[in-house]
A and B are shown apart, each in its own frame.
Chain A
Amino acid sequence: MRKMLFVLPLLVFAGVLFAQSGGVTSEENSGSFVQSLTAEDARNDAGGGIDLTWTVAADAALPDSMVLERSCDGEDWAPVCTLAPIDGRKTDGELENGLEYSYRIVPWSGGTAGEPSVLAAAVPIKQWINSGRVGMLIILTIISLVIFYYIEQGKRGKDLYIRRIAGLTAVEDAVGRATEMGRPVLYIPGIMDMDDIQTIASMVILGRVAMKTAEYGSPLLVPTCRSVVMSVAQEIVKESYLQVGRPDAYQRESINYITDDQFGYAAGVDGIMVRQKPAAIFMLGTFYAESLILAETGRSVGAIQIAGTAMPSQIPFFIAACDYTLIGEELFAASAYLSKEPKLLGSLRGQDAAKLFFMVVIVIGVLTATLGEAWAPAAKVAEFLKTITSVE
Chain B
Amino acid sequence: MRLAIPLAITFVAGMIMILQFFVPATQSMGESLQEWYMIVASFAIFLGSVNLLYVHTHRIRFKGRNWKYSPVTIIGFAAMIITGLVFGIEQGKPFDYMFTQMMVPMGATMFSLLAFFVASAAFRAFRASNWRATLLLISAFVVMLGRVPIGAMIWGRIPLISEWIMQVPNLAGQRAVMIGAAMGMVATSLRMIFGIERSYLGGAD
User: Which of A's residues lie within 8 Å of B, judged by CB?
Assistant: 3, 6, 10, 13, 44-47, 126-130, 133, 136-137, 140, 143-144, 147-148, 151, 193-195, 197, 200-201, 203-204, 207-208, 226-228, 230-232, 236, 239-240, 242-243, 253, 256-258, 261-264, 266-267, 271, 275-276, 289-290, 292-293, 295-296, 310, 312-313, 315-317, 319-321, 327-333, 335-336, 339, 343-344, 347-348, 350-351, 354-355, 358
Residues A351 and B184 in contact in the complex (CB < 8 Å), given A315-B177, A343-B196: yes
- B residues 149-176 near A (Cβ < 8 Å) are 173-174
| Sampled A-B contacts (10; CB under 8 Å) | A128-B23, A128-B25, A257-B49, A263-B107, A266-B110, A312-B178, A315-B177, A319-B125, A327-B180, A355-B183
Q: Tell me if B24 is interfacial: C-beta within 8 Å of chain A.
A: yes
A228's contact among B34, B41, B186, B204, by CB below 8 Å, is which? Answer: B41
Instruction: Count residues of B near A (Cβ-Cβ below 8 Å).
Output: 69
Given A257-B52, A310-B184, answer yes or no on A275-B66 (Cβ-Cβ < 8 Å). Answer: yes
**Measured between alpha carbons, how far is A44 from B27 in the docked complex, in Å?**
11
The interface residues of chain B lying within 8 Å CB-to-CB of A230 are 44, 47-48, 51
For A253, list chain B residues within 8 Å (CB): 51, 54-55, 58
Contact A46–B25 (Cβ < 8 Å): yes
What's the minimum C-beta distance from A151 to chain B, rounded to whole angstroms? Answer: 6
Contact of B114 with A by CB under 8 A = yes
- Residue B98 CB within 8 A of the other chain: no
Tell me how far the C-beta of B142 lies from the nearest C-beta in chain A, rounded to whole angstroms. Answer: 16
Tell whether, in the assembled complex, residue A242 and residue B202 are in contact, meaning their CB atoms are under 8 Å apart: yes
- B contacts, CB < 8 Å to A: 15, 18, 21-28, 34, 37, 40-41, 44-49, 51-52, 54-55, 58, 65-66, 69, 103, 106-108, 110-111, 113-114, 117-118, 120-122, 124-125, 173-174, 177-181, 183-192, 194, 196-197, 199-204
Specify which of B174, B196, B200 is in contact with A312 (CB 8 Å cutoff).
B174
Q: Are A296 and B44 in contact (CB under 8 A)?
A: no
- Provide the residues of chain B in CB contact with A47, threshold 8 Å: 24-25
Is the pair B48, A328 in contact by a Cβ cutoff of 8 Å?
Answer: no
Contact with B181, one of A46, A310, A358 (Cβ below 8 angstroms) = A310
When the two chains form their complex, are residues A207 and B186 in contact, meaning their CB atoms are under 8 A apart?
Answer: no
Q: A336 to B191, alpha carbons, bound, how many Å?
A: 10
Chain B interface main SS type: helix
Q: Point out the residues of chain A lying under 8 angstroms from B202, CB to CB.
A: 239-240, 242-243
- In whole angstroms, how far apart are the Cα atoms of A358 and B182 in the complex? 12
Known: A10-B22, A44-B24. A321 touches B121 (CB 8 A): yes
Residue from B41, B114, B187 in contact with A351 in the complex, judged by beta carbons closer than 8 Å:
B187
Contacts of A320 in B (CB 8 A): 121-122, 124-125
Contact B52 A335 (CB under 8 A): no
CB pair B177–A327 under 8 Å, yes or no, is: yes
State A257–B54 Cα separation when bound (angstroms): 10
Closest chain B residue to A297 by CB distance? B117
Q: How far is the CA of A116 from the CA of B149 in the complex (A)?
A: 58
**One of B110, B190, B203 near A239 (C-beta < 8 A):** B203
**Nearest chain A residue, comparing its CB with the CB of B108:** A263
With A151-B196, A208-B199, A257-B51 as given contacts, are A358 and B184 in contact (CB-CB < 8 Å)? no
In the A-B complex, the 5 residue pairs with the smallest Cβ-Cβ separation, listed nearest first, are A332-B184, A227-B48, A239-B202, A310-B181, A263-B110
Closest to B45 in A: A227
Q: Given A46-B27, A137-B22, A312-B177, verify A197-B107 contact (CB < 8 Å).
A: no
Are A271's CB and B22's CB within 8 A? Answer: no
17 new A-B contacts, CB < 8 A, other than A204-B197, A257-B49, A263-B110, are A46-B26, A46-B28, A133-B22, A240-B203, A253-B54, A256-B55, A266-B110, A293-B114, A295-B121, A320-B122, A329-B180, A332-B181, A347-B190, A354-B183, A355-B179, A355-B183, A358-B179
A310 to B174, CA, bound (A): 10
**C-alpha gap A195/B65 in the complex (Å):** 34
CA A312 to CA B176, docked complex, whole Å: 9
Tell me the smallest distance from the CB of B24 to a CB of chain A, in Å: 4
Tell me the minimal C-beta distance from B113 to chain A in angstroms: 6
For residue A82, give the distance in angstroms from its CB to the closest CB of chain B: 29
Q: How far is the CA of A36 from the CA of B173 in the complex (A)?
A: 49
Check if A344 sits within 8 Å of B118, measured CB to CB.
Answer: no
Contact between chains at B107 and A262 (CB < 8 Å): yes
Contact for B106 among A228, A263, A348, CB less than 8 A: A263
| A256 vs B111: C-alpha distance when bound (angstroms) | 23
Query: Are B197 and A231 neighbours in the complex by a CB distance under 8 Å?
Result: no
Contacts of A197 in B (CB 8 A): 185, 188-189
Compute how far the CA of A227 lies from the CA of B37 in the bound complex, rounded to whole angstroms: 13
> Given A197-B185, A264-B107, A328-B180, are A344 and B191 also a contact pair (CB < 8 Å)?
yes
